[in-house]
Structure 1
Amino acid sequence: MFGSTNSGANAYAKVGVETGVVAASPHKLVVMLFEGAMVAISSAIQQMQAGDVKAKGKSISKAITIIDEGLRASLDKKVGGEIALNLDALYEYMSSRLVIANLKNQPAILDEIYQLLKGLKDAWESIAPAPAVAAAQPPAQAAVQSAPKMPAYDSLAPMQSRMVKA
């Protein structure tokens, strides 16, 4: 009558992913693309070992789509210069290797591409932008410093600054 528990869990997961995408910074979105491709490849390895040809093909196709339409499409070759061109070639290599892994049932190729993606993801995470100054401060201190000054309470400023230092 209400559907399966699995479909409810899938709907919940989809909402969680969509919410994460909407709230994510551009840097985090790239991390999410790496993670999505890695999850798809991990699934394909398990499905290949289980002999589930249809699911394996679907997972590999998902990884290729993420690499080609997500990671590769987001490259700005004019601004990124040689690095962007090298990444483009690497993403093309990954996609072609995934096709071969699918056709020849070779989990070693899937592992190779997984490791390449993991290395890129780790490198990308290491260059994450620094959090804003307000985010690095304790919440109370950030609130005090960002609160607008009220003209009637300016005489409390010396007390306020002592409270912040404490």
Structure 2
Amino acid sequence: MPMKPQQAYQQNSVTTASPGELTLMLYNGCLKFIKQGKKAMVNKNIQVKNEQLIKAQSIIHELMVTLDRSQPVSEHMLPLYEYIHRLLIEANVKNNPDILDEAAELVTEFRDTWKQVIQLCRKEKYTEGGQA
């Protein structure tokens, strides 16, 4: 069965992305699943809510597992990832959209910071390459 153009584009963007870009994609995916989970929660669609929040939990778990523990910043990131993971579980169990808002806020902060890191790295790489 041939892929649709959008599926092919998405697959290509994942397979050609740098590790930094993949991490950014994970943050964005997590936020998307939290948003969809919250919408389903508000609409009382328990099955969809559960599915979406489990996807968000899986992304946070993946970020925890792949965290480079040799980097000093990981000492601060891991407890925050664990906290976000617990928030997602608690929101799902208690059916509480306010808890999802807190989780989304934290993921957004991580995502925005990560985006800045990628931009700085690109700028440094461009400058070091003698292009500036």
TM range (shorter): 0.7 to 0.9
Superposed CA RMSD: 2.3
Is residue 26 of structure 2 the alignment partner of residue 33 of structure 1? yes
Query: Following the alignment from structure 1 to structure 2, what is the Cα–Cα distance between the partners of residues 113 and 12?
Result: 33
CA drift at 1:19: 1.1
Closer, same or farther: CA 11–88 of 1 in aligned 2, 3 Å: farther
The runs of 5 or more residues in structure 2 that have no matched partner are none
Secondary structure of the equivalent of 1:80? coil
Taking structure 2 as the reference length, the TM-score comes to: 0.86
The runs of 5 or more residues in structure 1 that have no matched partner are 1-7, 138-166
Taking structure 1 as the reference length, the TM-score comes to: 0.69
Query: Following the alignment from structure 1 to structure 2, what is the Cα–Cα distance between the partners of residues 61 and 21?
Result: 21
Aligned residues: 126
Closer, same or farther: CA 12–58 of 1 in aligned 2, 3 Å: farther
Query: Following the alignment from structure 2 to structure 1, what is the Cα–Cα distance between the partners of residues 68 and 122?
Result: 22
Query: Following the alignment from structure 1 to structure 2, what is the Cα–Cα distance between the partners of residues 43 and 104?
Result: 17
Please point out which of 74, 80, 97 is paired with 2:71: 80
Is residue 102 of structure 2 the alignment partner of residue 112 of structure 1? yes
CA drift at 1:16: 2.7
CA drift at 1:12: 4.5
Deviation digits for residues 3-59 of structure 1 (CA, Å, limit 9, x no counterpart): xxxxx9x95543332211111111111100000000000000100011100000000
Query: Following the alignment from structure 1 to structure 2, what is the Cα–Cα distance between the partners of residues 39 and 91?
Result: 17
Larger gyration radius, structure 1 or structure 2: 1
Query: Following the alignment from structure 2 to structure 1, what is the Cα–Cα distance between the partners of residues 76 and 4?
Result: 38
User: How much identity, in percent, do the aligned residues show?
Assistant: 30
Deviation digits for residues 129-158 of structure 1 (CA, Å, limit 9, x no counterpart): 21554x9x7xxxxxxxxxxxxxxxxxxxxx
